[in-house]
Amino acid sequence: MIARTLAKDPRTRYQSMEDLKYDLERVNRRSDTSAQSLPASAGGPASQLSQNPAASSKKDDRDNSVSLKLIASITAGLVLLITFACWIFSATTRPCARIPSSHSPGSKTDSSSTSATPSAASSLPDDKQWRKYVQEAQTLFSAGRYAESEQSYLQALVQLRRFPEPDARVAAVLNELANLYYVLDELDKADSACRESLALRKTIDPKDPAIADNLSNLSLISAALGDWDQAESLGKQGLSIRETTLGPAHHDVAVSLQGLAELECKKGKYKEAEALLKRALSIREKSFGGDHPEVADALHNLAMVNQKQGKFDRAEALYKRALGIRQKELGIEHPSVADTLCALATLNFMRHRDSEAENLFKSALSIRQKAFGNENSRTAEVYSCLAILFDAERKYPQAEECYRQTLQIREKIWGPASPKLVRSLENLAVFLRRHNQKNGAEVYEAQIKSIQSKVGKTS
């Protein structure tokens, strides 16, 4: 499942679960043709009856006795034949031979529990239930309701882990869950889920094209964690697999291209990034048409690269096209809409359109608060942007409030000794010194020194 990213704004691809066609409840029911109707002449031809009434009566009695015995014998034979046919049927179609009746993760199959009895069949894991949870998770994810989506994915995994391992369905759900954690900026969870998914897929089929999904996601996670060399290596591996197995014009190839483009952008190679993104955009427009969320992702990323190169008019046009698609296709309160609003706000700020930038940032903040809650790193990103904007506008009380809010959220998420906290601490300390709040600034400066000293000792 895959994922894609923007600078500081992780993006995701919406991909339905692969159909593995593995339904333990479904068996190939065969019709039993062994039971045939009795022939009408089972008691003998009527034309052979004696014309003597008495003899006929005795003959009838004997004939009736013989007929009854013959019918009983045939019936017994048919019962045996049907029983044998049922035994053959159960031996070839029993669905529970692969899973013990008391299956749990890591348990071993007991040969005594593999008979195709009603009690054994009723103990099989419910294949329909996990599909229901996954469909719910995907729907909630597309709506930006990420916390609820996570719970549905976890419920699906509970159901799936009751099946024999390794199971490709578990790998697929884990990859989608990793994608969700990446969007939530819970990178350790994302990395763990994605690596477990990758290990499962390699165990089941080392040549599975879906391995490219894991490599693509791991590339983005590695980049977010700062491991650029590993990110590039994984991204190129994923691209190679997709181009070889799916063809160079497949829409999944665009996912790899977009991930690699971000890496080039991080290295300051904007022209290389732009070329990759243009190819990704072309593939998606041909695959999905011009008004698809996948196309909006490519437009947004291409706009960012143009913005980095100072092509502001071109960037604005691309952002607005991406925003229009996302609002129309995903809804005006979807987190992806907030991503583009933030990007447009930043562009307006760079062009000294502070009023427009403020309105866009506030709209983005409202969406992210609803989608992620107020104590989330992505919500903190918007508070940080607003702090800088208010500071530039000389709205100092609002600026200080947003600086503090940013620090408070990040400190709660990362902890007071996290190196990732240094930037927020510096911003607030510098602001306080500029406004003659020396004592307050010194508190945060001391915290910065403490963090840096601990990092120095461990490095």
- What is the pLDDT, as a whole number, of residue 2? 32
- What is the pLDDT, as a whole number, of residue 290? 94
**Cα–Cα distance between 277 and 436 in angstroms, integer?**
47
For the stretch 349-380, pLDDT in tens is 999 999 999 999 999 999 999 999 999 989 99
Count CA atoms within 13 Å of residue 436 on its CB side: 0
- What is the pLDDT, as a whole number, of residue 250? 95
Tokens matching residue 60: 């009838």
- What is the pLDDT, as a whole number, of residue 267? 87
What Å distances lie between residue 30 and 80, 85, 89, 119, 332, CA to CA?
18, 11, 8, 22, 53
Closest CA to 425 of 398, 444, 449: 444
For the stretch 169-223, pLDDT in tens is 999 999 999 999 998 889 999 999 999 999 999 999 999 999 999 999 999 999 9
For the stretch 395-448, pLDDT in tens is 999 999 999 999 999 999 989 999 999 999 999 999 999 999 999 999 999 999
pTM, 2 dp? 0.66
Vertex 438, ends 433 and 440: CA angle to 5°?
95
Q: Which domains does the chain have, with CATH numbers?
A: 331-459 (1.25.40.10)
Residue type, 187: L
Q: Which residue has the higher pLDDT, 98 or 267?
A: 267
Bridge partners (DSSP) listed for residue 10:
5
